[in-house]
Amino acid sequence: MKTQVAIIGAGPSGLLLGQLLHKHGIDNIILEARTPEYVLGRIRAGVLEQGMVDLLHEAGAGERMAREGHVHEGFMLSFGGRAERIDLKGLTGGKTVTVYGQTEVTRDLMDARAASGAQTVYEALDVQLHDSDGPAPRVSYTKDGVRCEIACDYIAGCDGFHGVSRRSVDPGRITCYERVYPFGWLGVLSRTPPVDHELIYANHERGFALCSMRNEMLSRYYVQCPLDDKVEQWSDGRFWDELRARLPEEIGARMVTGPSIEKSIAPLRSFVAEPMRFGRLFLVGDAAHIVPPTGAKGLNLAASDVHTLYKVLCERYRTGDVDVLDRYSELSLRRIWKAERFSWWMTSLLHKLDDDVFAHRIRLAELDYLAGSQAGRTTIAENYVGLPYEWRD
Ligand code: FAD
């Protein structure tokens, strides 16, 4: 087989990149290790920046999101028994975010790809990259017991943090920066109406909590928990009690509870691999970086990488200029590090890091300062809605 761009991974990065390239006449094949059902079964992000919303429309996969997604003009910060609203729209000159689950984004992209006739190989096992530094890279894999090979111009490694693409790079050529946080997030999905029409991020002396949602009858809640906790230790009753205890009384009192339909514990990590281009291989999304979910940036960063890479590849194929490929890593990393900083800062500000009561009071003082300052609120708002994409046509 032969294609222009071989894409490894059919998560949001791979599917979105594939769709945008296809729209611009650039042939691509996606190789995914899992089944479509498995990929769709992963409950993850849910807050989309405007840049990602625009990109989904550009890819022809935005119609259902426009109908069913919820535009949010603000969110609540709760601390010290009070709740303060961050008016995203008012503070950023009209910018908002859209609440629409990653599962739905993935489903829409899968549907768009199926409709376009572009090829995706699911259950492609033992994917290996070959000669990505030379003029004729190849990707091999096993499908239904048969070893297959794709010759291509470029390889996009969209295969997440645990994928093969980053691991295929000689360790001497890649620098990794990492911070692993000493706590996790216990997440619960429940078929209950959300406690508020906007997200609530809560700092509390018992630990962080987040009230989020997917739609009017589907809530997603999180509480900070010890890293070594097991889901079995958290009955639904214990979870709801703990969540309520971390929210202002008035908010906790109006929370509707119900049986969980999904419950999981996720570790929190900050990670960046530099550079993001190795010859004809490009790392995209979680394959190159991870953020703790506090700032809702993971999925959105994947989208901004895709934006830069697809623009760079379109330019390369349109003009024949290969120097433009050099810009991918530099442009992507500039925006990534700013989002890493914001995610790390939000995490440090809102979580209980230790039993140091002085540190807790300092965090409360910082939240009080931010809430009372136009500059402080604006800083939070402009980072939350997403900094501008770096590529300029
Ligand atoms: P992935 O979604 O990881 O997709 C990679 C794909 O590659 C997968 O389908 C995988 O099966 C495939 N693959 C892996 N290895 C191979 C291989 N060797 N060969 C072929 N295919 C392979 N972000 C937020 O913004 N907000 C959140 O609330 C949030 N919550 C999260 C909760 C959890 C538990 C996790 C894990 C992540 C969360 N994120 C969140 C992050 C967000 O989901 C990711 O940033 C996003 O999925 C990145 O997309 P991606 O396509 O780059 O990677």
Which of 286, 307, 308 is the pocket-test mutation for ligand 1 (most atoms within 8 Å of CB)? 286
Compute the distance from residue 287 Cα to the ligand 1 centre, in Å: 8
pLDDT digits (tens, 9 = 90+) for 190-208: 999 999 999 999 999 999 9
Compute the distance from residue 250 Cα to the ligand 1 centre, in Å: 36
Where does the pLDDT of residue 374 fall: very low under 50, low under 70, confident under 90, or very high at 90 and above? very high
Q: What is the DSSP string of 273-294?
A: EE-SEETTEEE-GGGTEE--GG
Ligand 1 pocket at CB < 6 A: 8-14, 31-34, 39, 44-45, 102, 124, 127, 158-160, 163-164, 266, 285-286, 293, 296-300, 302
Give the atom of ligand 1 at the shortest distance from the alpha carbon of 12: 51
* Residue bearing the CA closest to ligand 1, atom 13: 159
Least Cα distance to 108 among 32, 178, 39, 35 occurs for 39
pLDDT digits (tens, 9 = 90+) for 54-71: 999 999 999 999 999 999
Domain spans in the chain, listed from the N-terminal domain onward: 5-72+98-177+269-351
Compute the distance from residue 286 Cα to the ligand 1 centre, in Å: 6
297 flagged as catalytic:
yes
Is the Cβ–Cβ distance between 352 and 246 less than 8 Å?
no
Give the active site residue among 293, 311, 328, 351. 293
Contacts (Cβ under 8 Å, ≥6 apart) of 157 = 8, 9, 129, 163, 164, 165, 166, 168, 281, 282, 283, 284, 287, 288
Compute the distance from residue 11 Cα to the ligand 1 centre, in Å: 6
Query: Sign (positive/negative) of CA torsion 349, 362, 247, 251?
Result: negative
- Residue 126 burial by CB count (10 A; 0-12/13-18/19+): exposed, middle or buried? exposed
Compute the distance from residue 252 Cα to the ligand 1 centre, in Å: 32
The mean-pLDDT minimum among 41-50, 156-165, 266-275 falls in 41-50
The sheet with strand 175-190 has its strands ordered as 82-86, 75-79, 200-202, 209-215, 218-225, 175-190, 260-274, 289-290
* Residue bearing the CA closest to ligand 1, atom 37: 44
Question: What pLDDT shows up at residue 356?
Answer: 87
Mean pLDDT for 102-110 is 97
The helix or strand, by DSSP H or E, that contains position 130, with its residue range, turns out to be strand 125-130
Rounded to the nearest 10 degrees, what angle do helices 374-384 and 357-371 cross at?
A: 90
354 has pLDDT over 90: no
289 flagged as catalytic:
no
Q: Give the type of residue at 104.
A: E
136 has pLDDT over 90: yes
For the segment(s) 5-72+98-177+269-351, the CATH number from 3.50.50.60, 3.40.640.10, 3.40.50.970, 2.120.10.70 is 3.50.50.60
Whether the model pTM is above 0.85: yes
43 has pLDDT over 90: no
Give the active site residue among 72, 95, 289, 351. 72
Which pair of tokens denotes residue 280?
Answer: 């004809």
What CA–CA distance (Å, rounded) separates 210 from 112? 32
100 flagged as catalytic:
no
Peptide bond into 259 cis (omega under 30): no
- Residue 205 burial by CB count (10 A; 0-12/13-18/19+): exposed, middle or buried? middle
Question: What pLDDT shows up at residue 393?
Answer: 79
Give the active site residue among 70, 297, 311, 352. 297
